[in-house]
Amino acid sequence: MIITIGRQYGSGGREIGRRLAEKLGIPFYDKELIELAAKESGMAQEVFEQVDEKAGSSLLYALSTGSMAGGHFAPLNNLTFNDRLFLLQNQIIRDIAEKGPAVIVGRCANYILRERGGVVNVFVHAGLQERIARAVSEYGHPEKDAAGIVQKIDKSRANYYDHYTGEKWGVAKQYHLTLDSGVGLDNCVELIERYAEMSRKPVGER
């Protein structure tokens, strides 16, 4: 069973995924997907960190960030770094799913694995105030900036998802289960685990 988790920034979706993977004793992938992409491509991880979960910006943008120093990371076939990372992660996510059970956070994993059986797609969100509080307490953003950061990152995630999937981020019908994490992170873990258990039964016995 593969469980993918899309999440609003500051909703606790990543932490829910981490706890769920720990509880089930299966691998957990979030930022690890960038490391793997860097390793596989031989490109610098820092370059990918800049474009992770962002819609394809132009080469000009990459140049302007200084990450192109020496022309070493020139994109192939006019692909942006964003595109390259998406394609690499696409393959990495498929490979992970082949290997066995896992929890995969973000990166359009639900879309990438859409043809595959045995996948439970989850989306986690929360009220804006809760997300702002988490941006401060968990990610250390200054309180005065937190609201802007939360909204900017979510906008970026939505652009990324919509750009690469042609669908709309956070629309219920794309996920088996979506949760307002205000119910509590461990409670979300329990509900996802329960949904996954239910899904393992043959359709006729549900």
User: Which stretches of the chain bind its own copies, using CB under 8 A?
Assistant: 8, 123, 125, 168, 170-173, 175-180, 182-184, 186-187, 190-191, 194-195, 198-199, 201, 203, 206
Specify the residue, 46 or 197, whose C-beta has the smaller distance to its own copies.
197
Least distance (Å) between residue 39 CB and its own copies = 33
Give the Cα separation of 76 and 21 in Å (integer). 36
- Is residue 10 within 8 Å of 138, Cβ to Cβ? yes
CA angle 130, 123, 168 (to 5 degrees): 105
Cβ 174 to its own copies shortest distance, Å = 9
28 versus 175: smaller Cβ distance to its own copies = 175
Would you say 32 and 138 are in contact if contact means Cβ atoms under 8 Å apart?
no
**CB 91, min distance to its own copies, A:** 27
Residue in the block written with tokens 């990324």: 160
CB closer to its own copies, 145 vs 186: 186
Residue among 160 and 175 whose Cβ is closer to its own copies: 175
First to last CA, the chain: 17
Please check whether residue 170 is in contact with residue 162, taking contact to mean a CB–CB distance below 8 angstroms.
no
The least CB distance from residue 38 to its own copies, in Å, is 31
Among 19, 8, 23, 21, CA closest to 180: 8
Q: Measured from the CB atom, is 7 or 84 closer to its own copies?
A: 7
Shortest Å distance, C-beta 156 to its own copies: 16
